[in-house]
Amino acid sequence: MNDLIADFSKQLMEAIAIGEAAKLSHSECMIRNVLITGLGGSGIGGTIISELAASGCPVPVVVNKDYFLPEFVNEETLVIVSSYSGNTEETVCAMEIAMKRGAKVVCITSGGKVLELAEDNGIDHIVVPGGMPPRACFGYSFTQLLYVFNFFGLIGEGFKADLGRAVALIDREEENIQYEAKEVARKLVNKIPIIYTVASYEGVAIRLRQQINENSKMLCWHHVIPEMNHNELVGWTEKSEHWAVVILRNDNDFERTQKRIEINKEVIKKYTDNITEVYSKGESVIERSIYLIHLGDWISWHLADMKQIDATEVNVINFLKNTLAGN
């Protein structure tokens, strides 16, 4: 896992080459909505791009993380199937439903049943390198999502320059990223991490939560501002040495939201002094998101290292899948 995280910028560059070479076909119908279906490490890219595209995409974007699809999915829907292994049973089921409804389907996968279905039915697909943990291949899947959105006219060409700048940014900042990640990890070890960020970066917070779950083998939770100001903030009523708060921030977050964050800190510090603010770097949303994701991945790895556990091991997920396969 250490090597996979260290090679993130190389993965992004390889993913850009794959995206540039992708062969896709246009839909016979006008695309009136988009649904991205995928789970875990394969699905988080969909959550993040749905937020990135919110301010510019001309049609609604929905993220699906289940066996079934909403009723609105039809021949005017672009369904993007994201399954790194190609064998995620929920995603395969959703893909088959999308095919039956005549949706325009595009697959992002390394192989498995998804690739088999795509090839057998003449469905557009982008193949990425396989054999790695799905959560370590975010760069592959996320980048392909950007290229698919661009092909269908849902985002402009600017993402390409943003991706290039993001690669340069994390390469340039790698030493600082490593240092900050280790410092944050020290504050989280043997604690329950609580992750907060602004609503438009919820996908980045989810990514960090998932990485702490899988790599660090720890429970944690996340919430977003301003929504948590209407519920969770009231729950801060008890002191505990177990709480460790991480706030993911951006210098250009909305002024009123930044004011909320400052007030939240005043409330929370009554119950824990373990509050860490992590600021993004970069000029675009893509740069800032990738920076925070890379930093978060290192935080989860350093946590695993401090706990002296194997960041790659996911035996309980394998147990779940094997048990399901036997029923």
Q: What are the catalytic residues?
A: 214, 230, 321
Give the C-alpha separation, 314 to 161, whole Å. 36
List, in sequence order, every residue forming a beta bridge with 245; answer none if it has no partner: 194, 275
Q: CB 122: neighbour CB atoms within 10 A? A: 8
Q: Collapse the DSSP code of 6 into the 3-class scheme (helix H, G, I; strand E, B; otherwise coil) and give the result.
A: helix
Among 105, 108, 112, 155, which residue's Cα sits nearest to residue 128? 108
Report yes or no: 196 and 205 within 8 Å, Cβ to Cβ: yes
Report yes or no: 235 and 213 within 8 Å, Cβ to Cβ: no
What is each CA distance from 158 to 90, 146, 150, 218, 286, in whole angstroms? Answer: 33, 10, 9, 37, 10
Give the C-alpha separation, 16 to 29, whole Å. 28
Report yes or no: 130 and 105 within 8 Å, Cβ to Cβ: no
Among 285, 270, 84, 296, which residue's Cα sits nearest to residue 182? 296
One DSSP character per residue, 273-300 reads S-EEEEE--SSSHHHHHHHHHHHHHHHH
Dihedral, CA of residue 226, residue 229, residue 232 and residue 233, to nearest 10:
140
